[in-house]
Structure 1
C-alpha cells in the first residue's frame, strides 16, 4: 500500500469522490483548492481524500472515500492517520464535516475525532436533491475535530 499526493487531473478520481459527496458541483467548490491524496495497492486505487487549508493552523477533510471492494478494512483510517501526521507540522486541528449518519459519525470517532459544532440545514440548502444515507435524510452538517 502506498499513499501519494495527486497534483494534476484530480477529476480522474471523480467516481470515487462521488461516493462521499454525491453532487459534482459541490466537489468543484473544494477540489482545486484542496490537496488530494490517494491510497493505492499496486495499480488499484483503494481510497482518496481531499484536504483544504482553512487558515490559522486548521485543515479540513472535505472528501474521503474508499472503493467499495476495500471498505471496512481499515484503509480510510490509515489514510486519515497519515494525513493527521502530514499536516501536524503546519497545523493544530483537523476538521471534518459530515451528515448526522450512523455510518460516518462512529467512523470519525474511531479515528479520534470529537464533536465540534453543526451547521443547520446545510444539506437541504446546498444540494439540489435530498441526501439519504443508511435510510436517513441528512439535513445538518456535523463538524468533528481532532487535535494534531
Structure 2
C-alpha cells in the first residue's frame, strides 16, 4: 500500500472526487489550493484533499474510497496519514452530511462534533442530495485536535 501526493493533473481523479462531493463546481473551489493524496493498493482505491485554512488549521475537504473497497480501512489509513503528514496541523475540520454512517466513521477516527451550517446542501447544490436514504440539509462540522 502506497500513499502519494498528487501535485498536478488532480482532475484525473474526478470520478473518485465526485463520490464524496457530487458537484464538480464545488470541487473546483478547493482542488487546486488543496493538497491531494491517493492511496494505491494494486491500483488507486481512495483519495483525499485537505486545505490549510489558517496557521495550524486544516480542513479535510474531500475523502472517497471506491465502493468495492468500503470498510477495508482505506479511509482510516488516509486520515491517519494526514495527521502524521501535517505535523503543523493542530486542528482538522471536516464537514459532512447529517448521516449516521459518515458521522460514526469520523467519530471513530477521533473527530468530535463542532458546529453546523444550516441548509448548506440545499443552498449550495442545484439538486437534492441523499446519503443512506436521508436527504442532506445541514452540514455537520467535526473537529480533531492534536
Within 5 Å, give how 1:13-92 maps onto structure 2.
13-42=13-42, 44-87=43-86, 89-92=87-90
User: In structure 2, how many angstroms separate the alpha carbons of the residues matched to 1:103 and 1:51?
Assistant: 21
TM-score calculated relative to the size of structure 1: 0.96
Measured against aligned partners, the alpha-carbon deviations of 1:24-70 in whole angstroms (never above 9, x if no partner) come to 1111110001000000013x101000000001210000000001121
User: In structure 1, how many angstroms separate the alpha carbons of the residues matched to 2:64 and 2:8?
Assistant: 19
- Does structure 1 retain, via aligned residues, the 8 Å contact 2:83–2:89? no
The count of corresponding residues between Structure 1 and Structure 2 is 146
User: In structure 2, how many angstroms separate the alpha carbons of the residues matched to 1:106 and 1:70?
Assistant: 18
Provide structure 1 residue ranges, at least 5 long, that are not aligned to the other structure.
none
TM-score calculated relative to the size of structure 2: 0.98
User: In structure 2, how many angstroms separate the alpha carbons of the residues matched to 1:101 and 1:19?
Assistant: 15
Q: Could you say what secondary structure the match of 1:142 adopts? A: strand
Structure 1 residue 91: Cα displacement: 2.0
User: In structure 2, how many angstroms separate the alpha carbons of the residues matched to 1:56 and 1:13?
Assistant: 28
